[in-house]
Amino acid sequence: MAGVSSESLTTALAELEAELPTASLSLAQELFSILTVLDGSAGLRRSLTDPSRTGVEKSALVTSLVKGKVSAQAEAIIGRLAAARWSDARDIGDALETLAATVAIAVAENRSASATSGNSVSGASALAALENDLFSFNQAVESSHEVQRALVEPQAAESAKVDLALKLVPGSSEEAKVLIRQAVVHPRGLKTVKLIERFANLAAARQQRWIATVSVSRPLEQSQIDRLQRGLNSLYGRVLNVNINVEPSLIGGVRVRVGDEVVDASVLARLGELRRQLAG
């Protein structure tokens, strides 16, 4: 996905972010169900990516199809997605798949953050566990030609394929089960393991939001690291895993990377608080 479609997906993910702290697994399932409808109708995809139609028209078209069948939240998400611009008919489906998977991944993140509130464990732990569940599934599939054949057997019932898939990763989280089921039943032209790998990469990328890589010009004492930890937790509103790198040539004294965000000495308003934390 590139160009205007990539920009639309970036916008959709940014809009979704505000809803993720309270998102439910049922929302992810609803979005995946809408994706099935999209994939089943080439005419609908063409209509939703027709540049001659306005965003309002495209949004109204898709919401009329799902109204009363999914939650208002899911309806709003697909409505916004349909109103965006897409350079290829498949791109809107790929984007919806990404949004649905992101919701499922965020549910794991939120569950961990809620369960571990008040201690040093963060939402990264559940994200890591989810990633491990997905990798374990792929390893199990790739180690057995019989399983690979069974998962693509055209005569086999979907329920049988799902049952087999879930037996490969006993004890996996509910979020992992939703993603595995989607990859088995609706791989969308990919091998199941390739789609699972894509989901795992999304989980890994989200996990980076819980890791702060801090570059400093000189080594820090433990008391300074502790104050830095508290300052970063307060600044980002969550318990971060902090990794310290010493770079003597660093200009400005401190640089922080959390996920895709880099905070350096040019952002004085935000770094001022960190400097006060370090100074004690």
Domain ranges of the chain: 1-115, 208-279
Q: Hey, what's the torsion of the CAs at 90, 95, 101, 105, to 10 degrees?
A: 160
Q: Is the per-residue pLDDT at 39 higher than 50?
A: yes
Q: Is the per-residue pLDDT at 51 higher than 70?
A: yes
- Compare 157 and 277 and report the one with higher pLDDT: 157
Query: Which one, of 83, 175, 79, lies nearest residue 131 by Cα?
Result: 175
Looking at residue 250, its pLDDT comes to: 74
Which range, of 226-240, 249-263, 264-278, averages the lowest pLDDT?
264-278
Query: What's the CA gap between 200 and 98, in Å, rounded?
Result: 11
Helix axes 174-185, 91-115, angle to 10 degrees: 160
Query: What's the CA gap between 171 and 21, in Å, rounded?
Result: 25
What is the tens place of the pLDDT at every residue in 121-178? 456 678 889 999 999 999 999 999 999 999 999 999 999 999 999 999 999 999 999 9
- Compare 96 and 272 and report the one with higher pLDDT: 96
237 DSSP 8-state letter: T
Mean pLDDT of the residues in the chain: 87
Region of residue 163 (phi > 0: left; psi between -120 and 50: alpha; otherwise: beta): alpha
Query: What's the CA gap between 99 and 28, in Å, rounded?
Result: 8
Token reading at 14? 């940014």
Query: What's the CA gap between 184 and 72, in Å, rounded?
Result: 27
Pick the CATH number of 208-279 from 3.40.30, 3.90.550, 3.40.720, 3.30.360: 3.40.30
Q: Is the per-residue pLDDT at 271 higher than 70?
A: no
Its pTM stands at: 0.80
Query: What's the CA gap between 220 and 228, in Å, rounded?
Result: 10
Query: What's the CA gap between 5 and 85, in Å, rounded?
Result: 6
Token reading at 252? 């400005």
